[in-house]
Amino acid sequence: MKLTDNDALAIQRAIDDTSTPGQPNYGKTVFIPRGHFLLYKPLVVKKGVKLIGAGKNISVLQMAKTEWERTYGAAVQTVDDPEGKVVLSDFAVLGLSLSSYLEVRSGKSLVCDLVTESGYYIGPQNSVPDKPYVLFAGHASGRVYHISLDHIAHDRLPSGPGQDQSYPGYHLLQIRDTPGPLALYQVSIEHLPSSPQMDISQCQNVTVYG
Would you list the domain boundaries of the chain?
8-155+167-209
The alpha carbon dihedral of 58, 44, 107, 182 has a sign of: positive
Spatial contact of 116 and 101, defined as CB atoms under 8 Å apart: yes
Strands 102-104, 59-63: pairing is unpaired
Stated pTM of the model: 0.90
- 3-class SS of residue 65: coil
**Is cis: bond before 181, omega within 30 of 0?**
yes
CATH class of the domain at 8-155+167-209: mainly beta
Show pLDDT as tens, one digit a residue, over the chain (210 residues): 555 678 999 999 999 999 999 999 999 999 999 999 999 999 999 999 999 999 998 999 998 876 677 678 899 999 999 999 999 999 999 987 778 899 999 999 999 999 998 765 555 555 677 788 899 999 999 999 999 987 655 445 555 545 556 777 888 899 999 999 999 999 988 877 667 889 999 999 999 997
Q: How far is the C-alpha of 9 from the C-alpha of 11, rounded, in Å?
A: 6
